Amino acid sequence: MDTQQAKERIDFLRSELHKHNYLYYVKAQPEITDYEFDKLLKELSELEKQFPQFYDPNSPTKRVGSDITKEFAQVKHEYPMISLANTYTEGELRDFDQRVKKILGEQPEYVCELKFDGVAISLKYIDGKLVQAVSRGDGVVGDDVTNNIRTIRPIPLTLHGNDYPKEFEIRGEIFMPHSVFESLNQEREEIGDAPFANPRNATAGTIKLLNSAEVARRKLDCYLYYLLGENLPYQNHYDNLQKAKEWGFKISEHIERKPNINGVFEYINHWEKLRKKLPYDTDGVVIKVNDYSQQNILGLTAKTPRWAIAYKYKPEQVSTELLSVDFQVGRTGAVTPVANLTPVKLGGTIVKRASLHNADQIALLDVRIGDFVYVEKGGEIIPKIVGVDQSKRSLFSKPISFPTTCPECGSKLEKPEGEARHFCPNQYNCPPQIKGRIEHFISRKALNIDGLGEETVALLYNNGLVNDVSDLYRITREQLLSLDRFAEKSADNAIQSIEKSKSVPFPRVLYGIGIRYVGETTAKGLAFHFGSIENLANASIDDLLNVEDVGERIASSIKDFFSNPINLKIIDNLKKAGLQLNLSENELQLKSDKLKGLTIVISGTFNRVSRDELKELIQQHGGKNVSSISASTSMLVAGDKMGPAKLEKANRLGIKIISEDDFFELINSAN
């Protein structure tokens, strides 16, 4: 590499690393794995050593993360939140063992733990109560995310027993179990939000949410692995963790003491395959010197302790040839590049296709058709390409050109500000978007038309029988029978299930219509708030913002939807077909008018009913539920874990605050 080339590569790596640093630390939306990030950082660091003339005090090698989102209060960590040095090879781990033994002059006992792949958190307890939860931030200052963390069930709010220190901190990893991750992503795809790439990204995104009710819904989990404080009961890590388990903390079952480095390797080898069967992601093993006095002798370096180290498993990777790239268009118009590969075995399955995510990713990897690429299966749904074997690049490799027009309909693609993806704007004439919307409409949580499926939708569309969801209600038995796929019985079934969908309640119909960003929960909230599609269509932005969980983005998407004559026509057709486009008498029926004229805010979580049920009750008794407190609020129903900001505001405005029990007394009292 000559000087000019080196300069270009250094500039490129610095700007990439700055970008990914920002995505990770500020936006909580990382696009690459730690492993990939580490690799780029290492490459940069080596080039900087080789070409010292390009020194820059602001290089990402001089600074690992610092910017913090401004929305949460910032808290300085009492003990800095240092992280661990990473190793990827047996040799590096043996070096660690040698260093430790040399400093200590003896063989220490090691503790081996799984390295959970989530987001680090520090919890402070005083007198057995959780008082504060702070994210890592830049290690010195983090975000106060206590309200969000309180919603995580495995984290104890008050401790068991009476032998815990008066004040201490405990650190651990918050993560999203696979099952939760999968249903969250499914939900996101259904409403047109980009799915999270893996459970760690989903966890980071969740902890940063300002709406802690949504955090609670996402069912995060947490293992604790590190205690800090003046008066811990034991002088070693292992015994303290076992004690913490008695106090009610979730401590992994898979922690083991090992007398030496060979024992550590046994543990590493044992978990290499087994870890894939765990219901959450792990990316390595953490090795800690058990004894505190030995830990103290070893001390810390600037960023990491000398008494602990992480051994990271290499993600399983294979190399194969990239044959071609398809550009797939989804229901929302997002265009995803998908690589066709020479089939290759990876993690027990044959991989033929892999995602390239978006145009930026193609440029970052500098991948070309004909290249031998490395394919990895992480926590991701489809495998992805993580690098190129440059040594095998042929003279005939061809750069991938990202299309400027939609591969399906030819429209000019758009790339909205702040989006990494390209979109086809031709919503109503682009085939995969049309078919995608119909598939969503018939899906289980929407109209649940089980006599049809993805292939049938394609067939109906290709034969000119459906072009939008309302066309489904015009299909005749004869038309179906004219298609190869249908026999008497299957045609009857399809017609029957279409007919049956006419009685699906309004909230699910609203969800099925597929307004961008309107998921199942939001659709339900909107349906109960407005009662009918007309009211919703006529609602102003302000009216919409009054519905809980509806923010600017959703409100303007709803406005856009109803200002489009094509959508209005479809809705009119659905109405004529007899679908439920308003709440039924039953749903509408008020149980009483005890709350008539009252504007009620609810906050926190409740014991007798869920938040949604409580909102429905308010409605059923004639009241109006709104999300934020103002001077015109009549009362606040305060549940557990109520937000301090709401409480403060209610007090300041002199709003009446009642408990959940008070509320039930109110609605159950004699008329």
State the nearest-atom distance from the C-beta of 64 to ligand IVH, in Å: 11
Q: Is residue 207 part of the contact set for ligand IVH (CB under 6 A)?
A: no
φ/ψ of 551, rounded to 5, equals -110, -175
Q: Which of 13, 84, 194, 424 binds ligand IVH (CB under 6 A)?
A: 84
Report which residue's Cβ sits closest to ligand IVH: 120
Q: Which residue, 120 or 601, is less far from ligand IVH as judged by CB?
A: 120
Is residue 113 at the binding interface for ligand IVH, with CB under 6 A as the rule? yes
Query: Residue written as tokens 């009252």?
Result: 598
Closest CB to ligand IVH among 307 and 663?
Answer: 307
d(CA 14, CA 63): 11
* β-pair type (384-388, 635-638): unpaired
CB of 225 to ligand IVH, least distance (A): 4
* 83 touches ligand IVH by CB under 6 A: yes
- Among residue numbers 172 through 201, which ones bind ligand IVH (CB under 6 A)? 173
Catalytic residue flag (residue 415)? no
Cβ-based nearer residue to ligand IVH, 285 or 636: 285
- CA-to-CA distance for 559 and 564, rounded, in angstroms? 9
Tokens of 260: 């030496």
Task: Give me the least distance between CB of 304 and ligand IVH, in Å please.
Answer: 7
Please state, as a whole number, how many other Cβ atoms lie within 10 Å of the Cβ of residue 275.
18
Q: Does 232 bind ligand IVH (CB under 6 A)?
A: no
**How many residues bind ligand IVH, per CB under 6 A?**
14
Kindly state the DSSP code that residue 400 receives in the 8-state scheme: P
Comparing CA positions, the residue from 153, 188, 156, 181 lying closest to residue 170 is 156
C-alpha Rg value of the chain to the nearest Å: 29
Q: Decide if residue 367 touches ligand IVH (CB under 6 A).
A: no
Pick between residue 222 and residue 354 the one whose CB is nearest to ligand IVH: 222
Any contact of residue 28 with ligand IVH (CB under 6 A)? Answer: no
Q: Does 330 bind ligand IVH (CB under 6 A)?
A: no
- Among residues 42, 76, 115, 569, the one annotated as catalytic is 115
Residue length, the chain? Answer: 671
Closest CA to 397 of 363, 367, 375: 367
82 lies in the site for ligand IVH, by CB under 6 A: yes
* Of 114-122, 158-166, 243-251, 414-422: span binding ligand IVH (CB under 6 A): 114-122
Strand 599-603, strand 624-625: pairing: parallel
Contact (Cβ atoms closer than 8 angstroms) between residue 205 and residue 211:
no
Q: Give 255 or 526: the residue with its C-beta nearer to ligand IVH.
A: 255
Torsion (CA) 106, 111, 115, 118 in degrees, nearest 10: -110
Q: Does 226 bind ligand IVH (CB under 6 A)?
A: yes
CA distances from 523 to 512, 533, 594 (A): 9, 11, 26
**Any contact of residue 115 with ligand IVH (CB under 6 A)?**
yes
Q: Is 120 in the site for ligand IVH (CB under 6 A)?
A: yes
State how far the Cα of 525 lies from the Cα of 34, in Å rounded to an integer: 38
The nearer residue to ligand IVH, 139 or 531, going by C-beta atoms, is 139
- Find the binding residues for ligand IVH in span 281-310 (CB under 6 A): 286, 305, 308, 310
- DSSP assignment of 611-623 equals HHHHHHHHHHTT-
Interface ranges with ligand IVH (CB under 6 A) = 82-84, 113, 115-116, 120, 173, 225-226, 286, 305, 308, 310
Indicate which residues carry an active-site annotation.
115
